[in-house]
Structure 1
Amino acid sequence: METTLPLERPDPTTPPSEYRRLQEHEPVARVVGADGTPAWLVTSYELVAAGLADPRLGLTPPGVPADERASLFQDGPAHARLRRLVARAFTPRRIAELAPRIEALADEHAAALADAAADGPADLVDLLGAPLAIGSLGLLLGVALEDHPRFRVLVDDALRADPSDPALLAEAERAWGALMGFTAELLAAARERPGDDLLSALVGVRDADDGRLGDGELIALVTALLAAGVITVRGALAVGAVHLLRAGSWEDPGDVPGLVDEIVRRAGVEVFPRWAGEDLVLGGVAIAAGEKVLLRLEAANHDPARFPDPSALVPGRPGPHLGFGRGPHHCLGAALARVELTAALTALSRRAPTLRLAGSVEDIPWHHGEVDSGPTMLMLRT
């Protein structure tokens, strides 16, 4: 009997118990999606890691023509070219230079959260997670995004829209179109007044083999970076806060970099579905060309064969997780996300060590999307 998605969860913070059965008996399982379409669900760490690195599993269904608006969400030479160009501007040195400013930003927003919570329940997502993600992206790009209130509205609208739902397709297209329009305005300003920032570097980047990024490529690329940056940090911080507060508090976080890695492992961010570009065998299962494959990071990151006691937060846990993906589509912003989350946890331990959940975990409104998961609101009190 085929399994139907989504799988039931014991509670929003806990992966479906069905993952354990699948990992033990059927790590590559035939499933039916919520929209009624068939797919292969991959749940073991070993096979998810192998699938992420397999060039035969792509982001685009076979036969679908390339579109420059797909940005980094494409495969093969087109994706490799964009990644090479972006890597020249998106450097570890640039992230390291921004770290002190991101730390100051986190401290400012953590203090504001603590002040608000002194007068009643205050929302960590609204007062720390979202503004920190948006402000850090603004620092990276060289744009004061926090001074653009409509940017946050546009990102929220785009991330809420579900392009897989036919009834909401028009709304999704409108929301993403508006966000891309905003991005086009930022790029036009960067061309007029170039500076020492990522946006200006992307506008000017070129080389003899790859050429300059086209306008459509630039708009799609920066829009994708903005959306992914907000999703990852806002969601991971909220998820991490829930787990920490259930276990006690963040007053003495100890090994913060190690804790950040564990939070990312538990965060629930997923990769987009893959499509078999040709017939292949994964885990002894034959997958035909054109079939949809769901490489489930949450399941892989909770695989007890790889992570003993996977539901526990164990800073410094040995072995790499797959929270930022793997292979050619490994998250470009992983270093930035780690800096932001480290800054946020450090600031919370200093500025708001006594904050607690304002209600029960069961009362937290939780979003489980195709690629992101986390509280939409996390109310805290002193």
Structure 2
Amino acid sequence: MDFRFGPEDEAFRAEVAQWLRERLTGRFAHLRGLGGPGTGHIGVGERLEWERELGAAGWIGLSWDGSYGNRRVPLTQQVVFNEEYARAAAPARVGHIGENLLAPTLVAHGTPEQRERFLPPIARGRELWCQGYSEPGAGSDLASLRTIAARDGDGAGGEPRYVVTGQKVWTSLAHEADWCFVLARTTPGSHRHRGLSFLLVPMDQPGVEVRPIRQLTGTAEFNEVFFDGARAEARVGQEGEGWKVAMSLLAFERGAATLGQQIGFVRELDRVVRLACASGALDDPVLRERVVRAWAELKVMRCNALRTLGTADPGAASTAKLLWGGWHQRLGELAMAVRGAQATVGRALPYELDTDQRQFLFSRADTIYGGSDEIQRTIIAERVLGLPREPR
């Protein structure tokens, strides 16, 4: 396959790179590299200002159908933007969930009124979203969720209203979000995938409590969210068909941004190689082989991501998650190995970690969040290979 980009793509690449060079200066210069794995809590307010800078230039929503203050570019240029964004070490996006998860879902399943209400503020970087899926006891097995929502009449424009009660967990940046899309059970007595609805819930209201979860890295970008009579302002899709909407959303999660993520992986691998050279670890044939394998696997991941980009292959997203989750976890282990005993010593008391230590600890979750490896393998087995489902 020809993985080269065309002349228009390269012209767009030059435009993106120049814009980033010009903007990542002055008051935004110190944001370079902020918000990566284990540091998602750092500089959120300043990164929100950066989000608005992106929105003003039309860089948010490049993949959306329709015009909501966003540019619309072809898939290859979406890849280019994500690659150049990562190459410039621009700050991690605080608006990722709204732009790349909720917005395409509203384009696919929302009403015209919902798209007009919610997409322009996302495109301008003015409203942040969080994801209300996982619960205690319903993480990878999401269909076991117990959050309930009772119908409570209609609001403006005939939008159905609901009162939501339950708990969500591992909710990224819930303490900063304006809205949460919540998967809840709206049909009493329903089981598993049936009777669920996809609801839009404002976070700034009585009945919503956010509690941070302190992690191994010492940071707390994840949260528990408790709903106690909170009101949902809208429903996406039909009542009881939330599972279909929720699964559609997850299919949008691993798109063009995956290739930008891999540029970040290249930078992390380069740092490990420099460490290995400086410490003499490359003299060890076993460590040298691990470094070379990491380099080769990253090349394969990029080719596979380009090969499957834009395809309808139901296993492509699961395969990509399996590849990068395990690779990134092994890279964290490799960084510790090339540093030797020094890697076990913190920078300062009581608990200050350096970049490699934070990455190593955070990467332990790479094979769990976003769908565990076990779930991804089940999807590939059942939906791609056609193997029989395990009896329940």
TM score, norm. by length of structure 1: 0.24
Q: Higher Cα Rg: structure 1 or 2?
A: 2
TM-score normalised by structure 2 residue count: 0.24
Report 1 or 2 for greater relative contact order, CA contacts < 8 Å, sequence distance ≥ 6. 1
